Each structure stands twice: as structure tokens, then as C-alpha cells.
């Protein structure tokens, strides 16, 4: 017989957890420029602590170059960029789609 152990849950103060938001980006050079600042502005407006991670999933367009330029000069939001190589087995947006 399986016995479930219950522990009392301690409530966490509102918005004290850091949210990691992963943005899959495949051929998103034209969209990513506005997406990151808009998302960060919305999260800041709600006082939600966050980090943004953009996964450049082997884009065939200028997504990688755009991310490099934006990250180094124009975005005021700290943002991590992960770039998959063609030989990677798991790709973020494909993993999410396939469940």
C-alpha cells in the first residue's frame, strides 16, 4: 500500500521567485527585436523577477546576428542567448511541440 506523506506548505511571498523564461527562436530575426523588450517591460510592470533565455534554434535567417547586436548594444534587459548547433539532438521548440 502506497502511503503519501503530506508536508505543510509554507506560502511564498508574492513575486519573490525568479522566473526563467525561455523564448524559442527559429528564423525570428524580425520579431525578436521587439519581443524581448516588450516581454521584459510587461514583467517589470508587474514586479515579477525574471531572467530571459533566448534559444536560437539553428535559424537560417539573421536571428543569431540580430541577437548578438541587440544583446550587446540596444537591449536594457539582461538576456542569455543559447545557440544550438546543427548536431544537437534536442532543440527547444521541437521538444515543446513534441511534448
Sequence spans of domains, the chain = 19-98
Q: How many CA atoms lie within 13 A of 36 on its CB side?
A: 27
Give me the pLDDT at residue 69, please.
81
CA-nearest of 64, 52, 58, 53 to 88 is 58
Q: Using one digit for the tens of pLDDT, what is the confidence trace for 30-41?
A: 999 889 889 989
**Which residues of the chain fall short of a pLDDT of 50?**
1-4, 6, 88-99
Q: What is the pLDDT of residue 9?
A: 58
Flag whether the pTM goes above 0.85.
no
What proportion of the chain, given as a percentage, has pLDDT over 70?
Answer: 65
Amino acid at each position: 500500500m502506497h502511503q503519501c506523506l503530506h508536508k505543510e506548505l509554507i506560502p511564498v511571498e508574492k513575486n519573490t521567485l525568479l522566473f526563467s523564461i525561455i523564448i524559442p527562436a527559429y528564423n525570428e530575426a524580425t520579431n525578436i527585436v521587439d519581443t524581448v523588450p516588450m516581454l521584459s517591460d510587461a514583467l517589470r510592470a508587474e514586479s515579477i523577477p525574471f531572467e530571459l533565455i533566448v534559444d536560437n534554434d539553428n535559424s537560417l535567417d539573421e536571428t543569431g546576428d540580430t541577437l548578438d547586436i541587440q544583446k550587446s548594444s540596444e537591449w536594457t534587459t539582461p538576456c542569455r542567448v543559447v545557440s544550438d548547433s546543427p548536431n544537437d539532438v534536442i532543440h527547444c521548440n521541437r521538444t515543446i511541440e513534441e511534448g
